[in-house]
Structure 1
Amino acid sequence: MNAPALAPWHLHKAAAAVRAGGIIACPTEAVWGISCDPLNQMACERLIALKRRDWRKGVIVVAARFEDLPSFVLRPDDIAMQRARASWPGPNTWVFPVSADAPQWITGAHPSLAVRITAHPLLRALCARCGPLVSTSANLSGRAPARTISEVRLQLGKQLDYIVPGALGGRSTPTRIRDVLSGEVLRA
């Protein structure tokens, strides 16, 4: 994936927006996504309301490294962990068990959390600067995910705190989601 370099001030503005509790849009592996700080309850609730998404679904959290994820994401046995690590960084999302103190505003009605260690250069750079981020498609629930910055602006633009310019990662479909404990595919 050879995305053009992002100007440092775009990263700075995006990171500042996230740290201030804002919601940003940025390109991901296949579609445009919207992101916020997963530990900021108000930002997450605002993101879910913005999308008109059912809170019970939970969200995906992306990071630059597994070690950057919050401590409530439980590390499975070595075999399961090797399965996930073999696919990362990359366009593979794994559902991990979480401890009882995991915030419901990101897990939804699940005792687990979907996690991806992204290979998308821009998203990795943002995670390296901000820490893990919520990453969900930039669209209103029930509509097709945005594939261009213009589509992001049309659906969500005025409600976002910053839109990070950049290129999608070249995938034609959103990432596959699998259960880390069983390897079962939850979304193809």
Structure 2
Amino acid sequence: MNKEVTGTLPFCVEKLRQNAVIAYPTEAVFGLGCDPDDENAVMRLLALKQRPVEKGLILIAADYQQLEPYVSDRELSVEQRERMFARWPGPVTWVLPATPQTPRWLTGRFDSLAVRVSDHPGVQALCRAFGKPLVSTSANLTGLPPCRTVDEVLQQFGADFPVMKGETGGRDNPSEIRDVISGELIRQG
């Protein structure tokens, strides 16, 4: 296939619709992502990362509306919503109560789900074109540093791995993670 076509937004959206795992640039590093509603795609992503399903995953989205089917918004107070929206879109991941319908392959052993509305233009375009959020975890094989360039993704995952061309947002650290209910810092950003 033509290498110029492989890194484009339409190519990556088509791969997602075919239940593939892709890599794409985020605020700090490249992420690995797939359709959150496809258990087989999520299991392939977890196998690539050698990550146990019990740990749960992050969903990344273009806007909060894309996340609403997965989170129990009615459990949030006005103050908790305001605290969350004050930091979005941006590099802050919030842990919210999950709906009972949210698949366990996303929540792991938890009754909550980590979610982020990204301000990265590539993530925004990808989620809008795909029409829903993506699973998002750092693009790296176990024991190796997260990929920060397209070339690093191809070195770690192979020359034919679907990767959206683009630049990361230039941040040094992955997203901060906070619990929306308590405000507690889970991971420093």
Report whether the alignment pairs 1:62 with 2:60: yes
How far is 1:70 from its partner? 4.7
Relative to structure 1, the CA distance from residue 72 to residue 168 in structure 2 (aligned partners, 3 Å threshold; closer, same or farther) is closer
Structure 1 runs (4+) deviating above 3 angstroms are: none
1:77 paired residue number = 77
How far is 1:20 from its partner? 1.0
Relative to structure 1, the CA distance from residue 71 to residue 11 in structure 2 (aligned partners, 3 Å threshold; closer, same or farther) is same
1:145 paired residue number = 146
2:25 paired residue number = 27
Given that 1:30 and 1:171 are in contact with CA atoms closer than 8 Å, whether structure 2 keeps it comes out as yes
2:89 paired residue number = 89
Structure 1 unpaired stretches of 5+: 1-6
Deviations 1:157-180 (A, max 9, x none): 3573x1111001010000000000
Measured in 2, the distance between the counterparts of 1:159 and 1:78 equals: 46
1:171 paired residue number = 171
How far is 1:147 from its partner? 1.4
In structure 2, the residue corresponding to 1:145 is in which secondary structure?
coil
Given that 2:154 and 2:160 are in contact with CA atoms closer than 8 Å, whether structure 1 keeps it comes out as no
Q: TM-score, normalised by structure 1?
A: 0.91
1:103 paired residue number = 103
Give the AA of the match of 2:152: E
1:4 paired residue number = none
Q: TM-score, normalised by structure 2?
A: 0.91
Measured in 1, the distance between the counterparts of 2:160 and 2:58 equals: 20
Please report the RMSD computed on the Cα atoms of aligned residues, expressed in angstroms: 1.5
1:128 paired residue number = 128
Give the AA of the match of 2:144: R
When the two structures are aligned, how many residues end up with a matched partner? Answer: 180
> What pairs up with 1:36-51 in 2 under 5 angstroms?
36-51=34-49
How far is 1:41 from its partner? 0.6
Structure 2 unpaired stretches of 5+: none
Measured in 2, the distance between the counterparts of 1:124 and 1:63 equals: 7
Given that 1:53 and 1:140 are in contact with CA atoms closer than 8 Å, whether structure 2 keeps it comes out as no
